Amino acid sequence: MAEVLVYVDHVDGAVRKPTLELLTLARRIGEPVAVALGNGAADTAAALAEHGAVKVLTHEASEYADYLVVPKVDALQAAVAAVSPAAVLVPSSAEGKEIAARLALRIGSGIITDAVDLEAGDEGPVATQSVFAASFTTKSRISRGTPVITVKPNSAAVEAAPAAGSVEDLAVTFSEAATGTKVTGRTPRESTGRPELTEAAIVVSGGRGVNGAENFAIIEALADSLGAAVGASRAAVDAGWYPHTNQVGQTGKSVSPQLYIANGISGAIQHRAGMQTSKTIVAVNKDAEAPIFDLVDYGVVGDLFDVVPQLTQEINAING
Amino acid sequence: MRIVVIVKYVPDATGDRHFADDLTVDRDDVDGLLCELDEYAVEQALQISENSDDDVEITVLTVGPEDAKDALRKALSMGADKAIHVEDDDLHGTDAIGTSLVLAKAIEKAGFDLVVSGMASTDGTAGIVPALVAERLGVPQVTLLSEVSVEDGTVKGRRDGDAASEQLQASLPAVVSVTDQSGEARYPSFKGIMAAKKKPVESWDLSDLEIDAEEVGLAGAWTKVESAAERPARTAGTIVKDEGEGGKQLAAFLASQKFI
Ligand SMILES: Cc1cc2nc3c(=O)[nH]c(=O)nc-3n(C[C@H](O)[C@H](O)[C@H](O)COP(=O)(O)OP(=O)(O)OC[C@H]3O[C@@H](n4cnc5c(N)ncnc54)[C@H](O)[C@@H]3O)c2cc1C
Ligand SMILES: Nc1ncnc2c1ncn2[C@@H]1O[C@H](COP(=O)(O)O)[C@@H](O)[C@H]1O
């Protein structure tokens, strides 16, 4: 069976969930071969094998952390040359898309970004994308070269599918361009203990209606009662009430959880662009005319300072 | 220093965007404008120029249909010095890979020390053109910066990623992209708008860039859109007015959906 390369997003060997989802999709097209780079690369093998990787190509080098994007492109290109895969799948992070794009150009292939689903087709994999702030769904395929496709988080279920996952060294020669952009400093983001926004099953967001940084405690309390991630609208972020890393929307994160709860958010097109594909949508807003109500499965017209604490209390009571 | 800012003319996101019969983005029936995210690129170019001791010339470059001139005018009225419009009927339907070819050829022809772009176009939203242009030009990519500065032939910036905030550095020439966190874009002043009318706008076509028509356009695209369907409207949900029990009602709904 044809092999499908899957680029592994990991932190010091801990595989992030979107990569495991890619393995599910890769198995629809062929046999997944994973490519893990940088510090802890070999430590990814167990998790990847459990989810279907027949092989794990690894390479450790300081260049992956010390220089931006290009070393990873060099490595993925070496993997493509070694494996001649039927397709290359990369998680749709900002960096993932840049890596995939440069790879596609180098190997003379077309690229599809931000797929939300993937199926095998007669003429190669067919990718589903959600465009124009999720108001349209398109199906596309790549008409030239080895399909390179980036896939959004939460596009497939993580499935156990034990495979060999044998670790092999990948031989990589870095290009001259690899050391072009130096990373001179790095401040890791502090963990909040809450789930990752793009990976969470439930997201609870606050907007301008939250009216102050201190009031975000109400949003966080609701999130914690549900084990959810916290999101924010750009208005709340621009006001300095919540970090930009939590922004949901066109210029923030795009989320697709099972449940999205919007509090004090009007539902502007740029916000919708980042959350409209959520399975169930709930909103609390004091304005009955707010456009967010056009999207909801359940909406409460009311003051969030009354509704949200009551909801949190109720959930905590039910959960005991 | 020669700065080339690449900007896209896009259909208004608040308008009714849709696809034409050939499954390309319909650019005829919808009002267009300078991509809002590219205003940040123009702004940072202007600030780099204002903070520089050297002479800086800012050229704005777009690849797009005739109306894309509006986007160039806007950038000129913000303060850019001149503009280049690459326009050719054969460009209709060009994908990101093809667009990056046209941009790279035009940037080389114009001459550059620094290319500045937006983080993503609001219609395509892929955010890959800057990386592709850097790959084609063979210069460093210093992308997705929320802070940028240029000094002594070096560009520095901060990239706020998912896992960490990184400080980046590269030698010029380079390609930079800036996010909407880089600082509000200025509004064109009345004086700026009047001055823009006299600024030069050059028009180039594919032959000026020595690009074959087969390399671009719908036929030259390496990806093919097979279908586009409007997402079915969400079925109308239940909406209740809070009369003191709103939180409890919502909890009951969440419980019925097995979220609690
Ligand atoms: C290029 C571009 C990119 C953008 N990217 C993003 C993006 O990524 N993400 C994003 O979110 N936005 C983005 N925006 C901004 C977007 O257009 C809106 O301005 C923004 O989403 C508004 O945020 P909001 O809904 O919190 O604020 P508002 O629109 O001001 O809405 C606040 C809502 O809160 C309600 N409210 C107020 N008080 C209460 C209360 N006590 N109880 C209950 N309800 C209350 C009000 O009725 C109102 O509906 C972008 C804009 C542009 C131009
Ligand atoms: N046709 C175009 N003309 C000029 N610049 C463009 C064009 N398309 C994309 N760009 C630039 O590349 C950035 C990213 O675009 P994209 O990869 O389409 O999301 C945009 O913000 C622009 O700065």
Determine whether domain A202-319 maps to CATH 3.40.50.10260. no
CA contacts within 13 A on the Cβ side of A108: 4
Query: Looking at CA atoms only, how far is residue A233 from chain B in angstroms?
Result: 14
**pLDDT value at residue A139:** 96
Instruction: Give the Cβ contact number of residue B203 at 10 Å.
Output: 13
Q: How do the domains of chain A map onto residue ranges?
A: 3-179, 202-319
Within 8 A of A296 by CB-CB distance, chain B residues are: 234, 237, 239
Could you say which residues from 54 to 93 on chain B have a Cβ atom under 8 Å away from some Cβ of chain A?
none
**pLDDT value at residue A135:** 81
* Residues A298, B18: C-beta atoms closer than 8 Å: no
Q: Where are the alpha helices (DSSP H) in chain A?
A: 17-29, 45-50, 63-66, 70-83, 94-106, 216-226, 234-238, 269-272, 304-319
Query: Does pTM top 0.80 for this prediction?
Result: yes
Q: Percent of chain B having pLDDT more than 70?
A: 100
Query: Looking at CA atoms only, how far is residue B194 from chain A in angstroms?
Result: 32
How confident is the model over A224-280, as pLDDT tens digits?
A: 999 999 999 999 999 999 999 999 999 999 999 999 999 999 999 999 999 998 999
**pLDDT value at residue B14:** 78
Within 8 A of A309 by CB-CB distance, chain B residues are: 247
B259/A319 Cα distance (integer angstroms): 11
Residue B22 has pLDDT above 90, yes or no: no
CA dihedral B164, B170, B175, B180 (to 10 degrees): 40
**pLDDT value at residue B21:** 82
How confident is the model over B99-112, as pLDDT tens digits?
A: 999 999 999 999 99
A3-179 and A202-319, same CATH topology: yes
Nearest to A136 among B228, B253, B260 (CB): B228
Residue ranges of A for the binding site?
Answer: 208, 233-234, 247-251, 264-271, 285
In DSSP notation, A155-199 reads SS---------EEEEPP----GGGGSSEEEEEEEPPP-SSPPTTT
**Ligand 1 neighbour A300 (Cβ under 6 A):** no
State the architecture of B2-220 in CATH terms.
3-Layer(aba) Sandwich (3.40)
Q: How do the domains of chain B map onto residue ranges?
A: 2-220
- Consecutive 10-residue averages of pLDDT for chain A (320 residues): 94 96 97 98 98 98 98 98 97 96 97 96 94 86 96 95 97 98 94 92 98 98 98 97 95 94 97 93 98 96 98 94
Instruction: Give the Cβ contact number of residue A87 at 10 Å.
Output: 24
**Ligand 2 neighbour B38 (Cβ under 6 A):** yes
**Ligand 2 neighbour B37 (Cβ under 6 A):** yes
Question: What is the ipTM metric for this complex?
Answer: 0.94
In DSSP notation, B23-92 reads SSB--SSS-EEE-HHHHHHHHHHHHHHHT-SS--EEEEEEE--GGGHHHHHHHHHHT--EEEEE--GGGT
**pLDDT value at residue B161:** 87
Residue B234 has pLDDT above 90, yes or no: no
CB distance A165 to A55 below 8 Å: yes
CB distance B232 to A137 below 8 Å: no
Residue B28 has pLDDT above 90, yes or no: no
Q: Which residue of B has its CA nearest to A176?
A: B138
**pLDDT value at residue A71:** 98
Provide the CATH number for the domain formed by A3-179 in this structure.
3.40.50.620
**Ligand 2 neighbour B118 (Cβ under 6 A):** yes
